[in-house]
Amino acid sequence: MDEDLDQMTRQQLIDEVKRLRAGIREHRDCSRHELCWHHPALWGLLSERTDPIPVVPAWPEFIRGCIKYRESLDAQAPGAPRTNEPYAE
């Protein structure tokens, strides 16, 4: 799966690491409502070209997952700033 790396020069590998780090940082720096979105750009950083279609839970299960995710933020980042900013399309 990662055979392409074996063919890269040192400089190409450095460039690849920088590209991947930039993509990871972009995802890491998501905030507010961006945290809930599907992020195909992150997967697009991989060398294999696929377009995975996610399995989407039914609404009740989906909302339970959202609540669990939000609860995990309270537990893992209790000091993070909070906002009441509404979602805007």
pLDDT for 62-74, tens place per residue?
999 999 999 999 9
Instruction: Tell me 47's DSSP state.
Output: S
42, burial (CB in 10 Å: exposed 0-12, middle 13-18, buried 19+):
middle
Q: Sorting pLDDT into bands at 50, 70 and 90, what band is 35?
A: confident
Share above pLDDT 70 across residues of the chain, in percent, rounded to a whole number = 100
Mean pLDDT of 17-31: 93
Specify the pLDDT at position 3: 93
Which two three-digit tokens encode residue 74? Answer: 């309270």
Q: Sorting pLDDT into bands at 50, 70 and 90, what band is 82?
A: very high
Q: Where do the structural domains in the chain lie, given as residue ranges? A: 3-76
